[in-house]
Amino acid sequence: MNPPAADPLAAGLLERLPLLARDALTGALPEPWRWWANSLLAILAIIFVFSSLFALLTLTERKVLARVQNRPGPNRAGLPLTRFRLGGLGQPLADGIKMLTKEDIVPRGADPVLHFLAPVVLLALSLLTFAVIPYGRLLVPVELEAGVLYFFAAGAATELALFMAGWASRNKYSLLAAMRALAQLISYELPLLLAVVPVVLLAGSLSTTGIVAAQAGWDLGFVPRWFILTPWGLASFLIFLTAALAESNRSPFDLPEAESELIAGHLTEYSGFKYALFFMAEYLGMTALAGLGVTLFLGGWRAPLPFLDFVPSYAWFGLKLLALLFVFIWIRATFPRLRIDQLTRLAWKFLVPLALLNLGTAALWALTAGWSPALQPLRWLGAAALVAGPFVLLGRGLTAGLRPRTYRFA
């Protein structure tokens, strides 16, 4: 990993620990080889850390969903070859072995090349997005001037892989899932990008480190200057969260794989390890989007209070990431799935207009940055009104005349 321009010696020992460990491993190599070794190490670290996180996340999700539904969840598989169960901690391992040893089935009518390529492409693209996220003060795998754009470019093609999977399976449910995946991407790419534009506007930078740097400092001595704590930032974050859920095919937007209507959609004709790859890519994509959300709106690796600065920055990033992932699971446990027309209507009639208005609010916020302290409450009130007003009016207008559905049984 290439440390950013900040002076590494100024940071504490814990802060520099990952870099020190890396230098201990590769320090002896001559210069061009050292760069390659460092890059390889960064890639391996990302793959290792986020694969383990994926394994634990599947267990956490099943456990949390189970607790929400008032049942225990997986609790049998424990440590292998022992009698310790540890509340089902061995479940990811058991699942992994099961997936690896299952037969790999390719339907006779399927397109074998695309059927094989789809999970590979999906996983590769999901992994690419991790390259530009600043995990800590000194932990940025790749510094790019257009980092945010890179993230979306790498992530944009994931639905293409879903389409490949659905179409190559030669199965009507899979094809329906492919069509839904395309419709969903076209609808939600726009609000997702429009929610990010205000952040880029206010930070004045497309680079992820630049955006974290723009959230430095404290208001009143203890309130962090994170973008989520401004009126336009809160609105952007909520739009981003909704669109990110849709982008990563998470419930309540999991229409492409809707188990109860499409028999898992594009996954219908996949078995064994390819199926596991799809799942891995889904969780990795979700984690990457959550990481971007933390970077853009929650101050990245910054501590929430000034005196907590002694905790290493990557720990804060990890905590925020886990909290956001928990929110994702919580939402899945709470909301029912949308219908496809409701899904596209929500995107085009609600999220896109709100995101566009929010862009105007953010521009106003940037223009009024120089107002005197006496006028600041007016600035906050005005921005808050610009955010809340359209939300309430548009929501009222779109749901006017809708009542809870009544069911009649013939």
Partner 1 sequence: MTALAAIALLTLAAAAIALALRDLIHSALLLIASWVGIAAFYLWAGAEFVAFAQVLIYVGAISMVVLFAVLLTRPPTGPATREPSGRAVPGFLAGGAVLGLLAGAVLSSPLPAGTGAAPAFGVRELGLKLLGPHAGALLATAALLTVALLGAVVLAAARGKEDAS
Instruction: Decide if residue 178 touches partner 1 (CB under 8 A).
Output: yes
Q: How many residues does the chain have?
A: 410
Across the strands, what pairs with 223?
A: 219
CB of 201 to partner 1, least distance (A): 11
Between residues 74 and 166, which has the closer beta carbon with respect to partner 1? 166
Rounded-to-integer distance, Cα 248 and Cα 192, Å: 12
Among 34, 62, 102, 170, binds partner 1 (CB under 8 A): 170
Site membership for partner 1, residue 333 (CB under 8 A): no
* Number of residues engaging partner 1 in binding (CB under 8 A): 28
The pairs formed by 383-389 with CB atoms below 8 angstroms and a separation of 24 or more are: 383/230, 383/231, 383/232, 384/231, 386/231, 386/357, 386/360, 386/361, 387/231, 387/232, 387/234, 387/235, 387/358, 387/361
Specify the stretch interacting with partner 1 by CB under 8 A; choose among 29-37, 50-58, 180-188, 386-394.
180-188
Answer yes or no whether residue 145 interacts with partner 1 by CB under 8 A.
Answer: yes
Query: Using the rule CB under 8 A, is 152 a contact of partner 1?
Result: yes
Q: How far is CA 399 from CA 76, 255, 387, in A?
A: 46, 22, 19
**Among residues 160 and 356, whose Cβ is nearest to partner 1?**
160
- Which class for 117: exposed (0-12), middle (13-18), buried (19 or more C-beta within 10 A)? middle
Find the part of the chain contacting partner 1 (CB under 8 A) among 49-57, 161-169, 312-320, 400-408: 161-169
Q: Which is nearer to partner 1, 47 or 146 (CB)?
A: 146
The kind and range of the H/E element at 402 are: none
Site track 194-213 with partner 1 (rule: CB under 8 A), x = hit: ------------x-------
The one among 66, 94, 156, 303 contacting partner 1 by CB under 8 A = 156
For residue 91 the two structure tokens come to: 């479940």
Q: Which is nearer to partner 1, 145 or 309 (CB)?
A: 145
Choose the binding region for partner 1 from 174-182, 261-269, 319-327, 378-386 (rule: CB under 8 A). Answer: 174-182
d(CA 39, CA 306): 33
Tell me: does residue 192 bind partner 1 (CB under 8 A). Answer: no
Q: Which has the closest alpha carbon to 60: 85, 89, 93?
A: 89
Looking at beta carbons only, is 153 or 381 nearer to partner 1? 153
Residues 80 to 119 in contact with partner 1, rule: CB under 8 A: 109, 111, 114
Question: Computed from CA positions of residues 206, 207, 212, 215, in that sequence, does the dihedral angle turn out positive or negative?
Answer: negative
Candidates 19, 56, 94, 157; binder of partner 1 (CB under 8 A) is: 157
Residue 159 CB, shortest distance to partner 1, in Å, is 7
Q: Which stretch binds partner 1 (CB under 8 A): 42-50, 145-153, 273-281, 297-305?
A: 145-153
From the list 98-106, 148-156, 326-334, 389-397, the region that binds partner 1 by CB under 8 A is 148-156
CB of 179 to partner 1, least distance (A): 6
Please, what's the largest Cα pairwise distance for the chain? 80
* Rounded Cα gap, residues 32 and 30, in angstroms: 6
> Residue 185, interface with partner 1 (CB under 8 A)?
yes
Candidates 169, 171, 232, 150; CA nearest to 199 is 232
Count of C-beta atoms within a 10 Å radius of residue 335? 12
| Closest of 207, 254, 214, 206 to residue 233, by C-alpha | 214
Q: Is 175 in the site for partner 1 (CB under 8 A)?
A: yes
Give the binding site for partner 1 (CB under 8 A): 109, 111, 114, 144-146, 149-150, 152-154, 156-157, 159-160, 163-164, 167, 170, 175, 178-179, 182-183, 185-186, 189, 206
